[in-house]
Structure 1
Amino acid sequence: CLFKLCPMNRYSAQKQFWKAAKPGANSTTDAVLLNKLHHAADLEKKQNETENRKLLGTVIQYGNVIQLLHLKSNKYLTVNKRLPALLEKNAMRVTLDEAGNEGSWFYIQPFYKLRSIGDSVVIGDKVVLNPVNAGQPLHASSHQLVDNPGCNEVNSVNCNTSWKIVLFMKWSDNKDDILKGGDVVRLFHAEQEKFLTCDEHRKKQHVFLRTTGRQSATSATSSKALWEVEVVQHDPCRGGAGYWNSLFRFKHLATGHYLAAEVNPDYEEDDQECQSSQDPEQDASRRGLRSAQEKMAYSLVSVPEGNDISSIFELDPTTLRGGDSLVPRNSYVRLRHLCTNTWVHSTNIPIDKEEEKPVMLKIGTSPVKEDKEAFAIVPVSPAEVRDLDFANDASKVLGSIAGKLEKGTITQNERRSVTKLLEDLVYFVTGGTNSGQDVLEVVFSKPNRERQKLMREQNILKQEYIAKQFGFMQKQIGYDVLAEDTITALLHNNRKLLEKHITAAEIDTFVSLVRKNREPRLLQSKPQHGLIPSWLTFSNRFLDYLSDLCVSMNKSIPVTQELICKAVLNPANADILIETKLVLSRFEFEEVSSGENALEVGEDEEEVWLFWRDSNKEIRSKSIRELAQDAKEGQKEDRDVLSYYRYQLNLFARMCLDRQYLAINEISGQLDVDLILRCMSDENLPYDLRASFCRLMLHMHVDRDPQEQVTPVKYARLWSEIPSEIAIDDYDSSGTSKDEIKERFAQTMEFVEEYLRDVVCQRFPFSDKEKNKLTFEVVIQF
């Protein structure tokens, strides 16, 4: 537990800003004042930083006011005199505060009379830390923390408690460009282009070089590859700067274990075989045949105790350096294991050989020093380390709570504590700040992917475990606990889980939810019309969930596509779909004539109509143009029907994606090329609906047999791909000629050309965001 001794910061301007920023100050005058106070607070922070740099290296004297910055959390030790301590109620509460305040000021006073005010504070002195505002010294209570056995509460109370000053690192050693105790780094094997990692495999911890699937190996950011550097000193509490002749330990940050070496059992077996052989020449040839990887005398492992001598290493520079010179933070080093006098050596032997793509390569030590076995020391930012600390601590707390819930129940205080932790985790992964809103209402556009990965690595989010609970989660749908959103977010673009865990039962559940939430409800309308039925607007989302299950990373998943097709297109579920038909309508208009009487002339025209069933199972219908017009005028029922129909078209497009003929053959009879083109080109329909028709045209009629994707000229080809014989009959061998296909889509291409010509001729072609949706589909799809 390390603290940095800091000079006293000023908080007057920040205090004024915090007070004004509390909820309630929302008028125009308050906003102007708030901006000025915010500026003053920022200016005060910068002045504090400047003063701190000036005072760096000055000797602390008794009677000075100091602040204690907790390095792990980057927060100030603070006394809150308005709140009682959690366990010792007659004491004041001590917390860690991110910005600090006036409760973070402490007088440093001598405990023994041999020191007096004005004397220099000496390493090893016993001191009293007296809060400036609270007036009661910092106290180590005898009450043990409930959530952290073995640790006692720290509070502020009138007592006779002393604290001993133990030096971890001198201020002069604390330089950003040198390697020192407490630094967190990654060790990147330069030749193998892999990070040294410690992780669990088959319920056992292994140290290995991890293969990454990223394009750049150095961009890998696994939290399992973080190591804290410890510079070995006679005093176990002492750290300091690292020299080339120093001894080092590497502590795995996620587990707290130390990097060490133990005898390689495979190497011992080889030696026993050689000793049992009576033929020296045969032994020599056998040894010569062994690769360098098989000659590892010791394997790298992780050990729980830091005082184990097998965890001590030396750093060997790759350039000429003096032993008494400092180790630069961005160095290339070779690792020498001290007690075995062997060198860390990489191999290509997989640990997870049973996997389809092994990513864990063994690493050990060898008596032979090789130039290529060098590691780059990659510094890690303090923010990333604090993220890991938070996730690691959260994982332990959640694991403990989960264990208690399995056995029975938890106390009210534990429930409040874990609820607050879950809220913090939501803001942690979304990158937002808690401004007092309901955490379930938090909206974010882009989550922090690195923090998502960190939470998976620390077992806060276990996808495989959660996926096994789909049945339970589906039972919670409809109770407003975000069960459906959780399922969709978990499966979104996750092909492995989709193929493994989505079965016909899950699809049938979603289909039943579409039906359940599509049931109409009664809404008060105009008095002469009484009550009219209207569809629930949120029913669309279940169609959207089914659409998500069809694809992963814009690629179809045939297994789930087939399940959804069989369920949605089943005649028993026809009531959840809106049917589309071309209906012959007669339009009458007056024709102007030279006589006294005008003539009424009739004309027949086909029009697209939609048919659906109401709550009484009676069929209702309306033309799509009339629905669009009434929706535009504010008719809620028509707007909901049209929105539901658009989601249905998007689902159909996903079901047909990548030539899924189970859906294409069933749906294309109802939605043929002419009908879809009619709706695509109808300017009376909203742009987003026309875009959905456009998307459906591509996946149901264009991207299907006998059409083939046109491949540009290949300037380089594999010889094996070139056929040995080519005949004229090989071309146009399909039953449909190119002319027939061209004629079939002639009107479609004409619409595309006219539409794009109209777009580019406009003065501001992309000013209408709604129209851009259609333009995007036309350009991308065709």
Structure 2
Amino acid sequence: MFEYNFSVTIQLLTECIYFVTNTKNHMMDPLQINDFTPSRDRQKLLREQEVLDQVFQLLKAPFMPRQGVTEIGPLLSSLSDLSEGRNEVFKTMFQLCYSLLRYSQVSYRKNQEFLAEKFGQIQEQIGHDLLAEDTMTAVLHNNPKLLEKYVKTPHVERFVELIVIVKDYRFLDYLADLCVCRGEANKKVQELICNSVLSEKHRDILMETKLVRVAFFMHQLDLLAQMCQEQQYLAIDPPPERKLLNISQQLPAELVLKCMSDARLPCEVRASFARLMLHLHVVRGSPLNAIRHARLWTDIPVEVKLQSFSYKITSLEGYSDGGRARVGDQFATDVCPSFSFTKPILKNDAASVANNKLTYEMVTLAKALAQFGYYMFDNLLTLTENLLNIVDNSPYSPQTAHSVSQGMSMIHRVTQSMIGSGSRKLCDGPIMRNSEKSNIEDSGQAKESRQLLVKTKLTVAEILQVRFSGDYESSIRFQMIKNMPFQFVMDVRRDYRITMALSWFKKNFPCDENGVLSRTANINERMAHELYETIYQSKCGHELHLDCSDGQLLLAILMQVSLLEFG
């Protein structure tokens, strides 16, 4: 009778999971239902009929004394008993309970609040492979109000404690997920995590780790990047009185650049270093403001050269570099390329997930370098052309391969210039292939690879500020980086052309300091044609094409993005 009751309980929990997820195939593993459309009516029914209350009672029952003629001890004395083989049935029951709770809250605010009020009980059972931590983070995911209201220091300390004890990178991911909500940093939770992870008690978790367990180390880097996102000063440069570990000193820009450029490391690790470089060292101060086209006549140069044109000096105001040690925009000429590709690097197959991830992070880094003013105008145009070649899906050609290699090398050189550490050779060996087989199905990897491809192309489009029609966020099912608030490359290019036109007028129609023309202006059709030739048909005019092919490559890539399958 005892075993029968357990089998009935497990079957009942399984049926509840099938019910709330509206799963027709009852042969499916109830713990592995990932893609389903939530039914709010069914979720509401579970809460209002107190099924969820009974689940929480069931999670406590094995540890409670049993009532009878004489009081009998509990079935389990502690959670550690669940690791014993004879208690496997309890572990299965607990996993089904937490899976049911997790499915019941998907996209349903009231159930999320109900579960958040039970975080105290859930937290006690974290770290025993019961899916308690998955349930907790699922409730908090993309939920800023619940994050600020319910996540306290004890919750963070519990995850950190489990990192020390279990050494499982999943708990690093849970902390990283708490740092950012809907693509934006949650400052309050970030501070809680920084105060715990970077304290003297726990700092060895992140810094005194040998590169033996590559996956664990990679997830450490991801957590650090999330902690630094949106210029969180407690992670980047904490005040001395807080006695927190200074990540900027422990991982200086020179070291991060060397690691993200080391082709001997797996692509996933290099992608994590590139992301850390972005949030720890590049995003400081304020981004460039909008280009202002108005200017004084006296400030207009008589001669305009592409290589010497500086939009940051003539056309920007109110820019702050956040106190960074900048060395100008000179490139280190003898730095080896970060990449050495001989074919187009963006593919949508399952085997290219890691490579696409690295490419996406490098393109995102290039976007930030442009956004925070590290490029001179001629380099910005070169970057644009190279980025278009990187994301182009056209058939392979040696010219495209050369442009791809140049593009990746340029991103590296600008980052090197930002650091100001001088020229140095970086290793340029063959990329190591990760010998470990992923547990994810090939179909899932292919889908992730397609999503990374789309994200990379749209990031390039954001650098160019090309406007798309349609709601891509819902189509590709992930949150895209928000559009920058200024027409970046397009505005700079327009500003350069305006400067060329004004310079032509100043040269052909000189005036004194009072603005009086030296001779009568006589603008005719010939002069208008000369002005057109100067701006659009001269060597400088042709260099302003974003792809050196009269916009044809840009148009082709926009068509590629439009025809992509976003599923």
Q: TM-score, normalised by structure 2?
A: 0.43
Q: TM-score, normalised by structure 1?
A: 0.32
Work out which structure has the larger RCO, using CA pairs closer than 8 Å and 6 or more positions apart in sequence.
2
Structure whose residues are more often helix by fraction: 2
Structure whose residues are more often strand by fraction: 1
Larger-Rg structure: 1
